[in-house]
Amino acid sequence: MAKVKSFDRERVKALSGIVDFYYWKGIPVARKWPDWSKFKPSANQKLSMAAFSKSRSDLSLVTDRCRDYWRAAHVGVSGAWLDIYSARYLSAWKVAHVYPDVVLDIDFTPPASDARLCVKTISGGAVKVCVFKSAKTVISVTKCCKGKPSKCWGPVDPESVWCGMATVDVEKHVHVVSPSWRQTLWRNAMGTGATAALSCAAAWASLWVTDWEWDGNVFCGVILNTSDMGPFWMTVIDEFRLEVNPRVEAWWSAFPDTQPERLVFSPNVTFPAENAGSVFLPAFDVSEAMDHSPLHLEMDVSDVSFPPNSWWFDAHPYRETQPHCCCPGEWPFCETEARIGQAFGGCADWYAGGSDWACITIPEAVFSGEGKFWAAVCDDAGVPIPGPFIPLK
């Protein structure tokens, strides 16, 4: 081992595999690159190596925004933020050989009054957030190594001035087993041509100028039949539209004071097939091909003004720009008839809220007295977990 004046990223990369640069007690040093080919780790060393490897895989999930907080909080503190992250991670792991939670992302904009802070962690659950005041003197990594490094590394005094729980917005959900259906419109048309494709195109052209009628069938779909009639091909198309009532009253019964935000309509499809049309919901510009069953049509309904009950939306069997034809192949005819409707069933699911962000409002009264205030995500004992200190005000 030999002391060096300094080293940078370029030099470390250039001499990787030859010279190993690192800090020893805060002093930059270098040594010959270690040969690990004959190294046989003990059981405890294997555990420590696994923990270090896990710390790196967890680090890969940390967002650039969170890394910027790490860098900003450790300006003037000896030791790179990455070294501090590693040491804090391993210090927490050594307590009970349990991998610690890690802060992955931060969403915070300093407000004029109460501070609203949101964080994402690997656990994805509620977390403890503590507020600290700036240290009177910068605490070095070397000095902290002799005490409780996980608690004092960074720009703050080791004792917090306030702690609270950041909670996750629990998703609200109502499942409707049987939506209501009602038929609205039906029309049909026929086309002929020298080939199957020409007869299909002629049938669609005729269909689009055909008037709608009411019909007793309660389903949505296109029944398309193309047949070889000898001297010509003929295509017949029947188009059915309907309306769906996903029973918003079930939502209001469960959550009378909460606006639903998302609606998932999952109808069963009878005779699903490729190139057999789709279910298109024009009010939400959402569609899905009827080549599988059930479908999963998700709508943003956060801006919809719902009545107390009996709210309906239209379902069409294709987008106007996506008509379809069938290919007869070896047979002199072909048919598609994928449909959804009352006889085939389905369900609807209403949702609101739900997030992997844990949020907390820090009262204005916490920021009393002079000095700079920082927040950190902590364990139950108030010790910061692997994550940056966040400047508040």
**DSSP character for 152?**
H
Q: Residue 40's pLDDT is what?
A: 86
pLDDT given at position 149: 46
222 φ, ψ (degrees, to nearest 5) = -120, 125
Render pLDDT for 306-315 as a digit per residue (tens, 0 to 9).
999 999 999 9
pLDDT tens track for 363-383: 988 888 778 888 999 998 888
What integer pLDDT is reported at residue 136 of this predicted model?
Answer: 59
Q: Which of 229, 267, 228, 266 is nearest to 351 (CA)?
A: 266
**Which tokens belong to 267?**
């109808």
User: Which H or E element spans position 336?
Assistant: strand 333-336
Residue 279, H or E segment: strand 278-281
Percentage of residues in the chain having pLDDT higher than 90: 60
Residue stretches of the chain with pLDDT short of 50:
138-153
- Can you give the pLDDT at residue 27? 87
Nearest CA to 200 among 230, 222, 224? Answer: 224
Residue 87's φ and ψ, nearest 5 degrees, are -65, -40
Q: What length does the chain have?
A: 393
For residue 282, the cross-strand partners are none
- What is residue 5's predicted lDDT score, i.e. its pLDDT? 85
Is 58 in contact with 82 (CB distance < 8 Å)? Answer: no
pTM, entire model: 0.63
Write down the domain spans for the chain: 1-39, 44-169+359-391, 174-352
Instruction: Note the pLDDT of residue 25.
Output: 77
pLDDT at site 22: 86
